[in-house]
Amino acid sequence: MIRNQLSVFIENRNGQLCEITGILADKGINLEALNIAETVDYGVLRLIVSDEDSAIAALKENDYVISVNPVNMVKVPNVPGGLFSVLKKITAANIGIEYMYSIFGELNGSAQMIMRVADPDLLEKVVSQ
């Protein structure tokens, strides 16, 4: 499944994540996945949320810089070698993954990963084969 991921620019300081999650909580927005990539000074918070439009509006209202990008939500069998079997297909199709992270909870015995690639449609086709 292709989903829109929200990336938020965050400074490395105490309370920053608390503030963002507070803003989303106030609007009754659920977090489905979360990942942070960080440097010394700042980080990029990546989110998959239940209601993208309200989340974007609420964060923009609070002056956050946001980027919205399509990402693939890929089902991974929750067994040893599960991720390997998925990555084999992706590698065989010569698709590079910029970054990936796992999603909260599990679905019918499967784990799920979020993957960022240049061509989400292609990846979707490859993993569903």
Partner 1 sequence: MGNYYQKEIECASREEIRRIQNEKFLKQFKHAWENVPYYRKKVEDSGVSFDDIKSIDDICKLPFLSKDDLRDAYPYGLLGTDLKNCVRIQSTSGTTGKRVVAFYTKDDVDLWEDCCARAIVAAGGTNEDVCQVCYGYGLFTGGPGLHGGSHKVGCLTLPMSSGNTDRQLQFMTDLNATILCCTPSYAAYLAESIEERGLRDKIKLKAGIFGAEAWSEEMRADIEKRLGIKAYDIYGLTEISGPGVSFGCSEQKGMHINEDHFYAEIINPKTGEVLPMGSEGELVFTSLDKEAFPLIRYRTKDICELSDEKCSCGRSFVRMAKPRGRSDDMLIIKGVNVFPSQIETVLIEQGYPANYQIIVDRVNHTDTIDVNVEMSNDNFSDNLGKINEMEKSLVSALKAMLGIHANVHLVAPRTIERSEGKAVRVIDKRKI
* Cα dihedral 12/62/3/122 (nearest 10): -70
Q: Is 63 left (phi over 0), alpha (psi -120 to 50) or beta?
A: left
What's the min distance (Å) between Cβ of 22 and partner 1? 16
For partner 1, which is the closer residue by CB, 43 or 77?
43
What's the min distance (Å) between Cβ of 10 and partner 1? 7
107 strand-pairing partners: 110
For partner 1, which is the closer residue by CB, 26 or 41?
41
What's the min distance (Å) between Cβ of 31 and partner 1? 16
Point out which residues bind partner 1 (CB under 8 A). 5, 7, 9-11, 37-39, 41-44, 46, 63-67, 69, 98-99, 116
CA 34 to chain centre: 6
For partner 1, which is the closer residue by CB, 25 or 118?
118
Burial label, 101 (beta-carbon count in 10 A; 0-12, 13-18, 19+): middle
What's the min distance (Å) between Cβ of 79 and partner 1? 30
Cβ neighbours for 73, distance < 8 A, ≥ 6 positions apart: 1, 2, 3, 48, 103, 112, 113, 114
For partner 1, which is the closer residue by CB, 50 or 67?
67
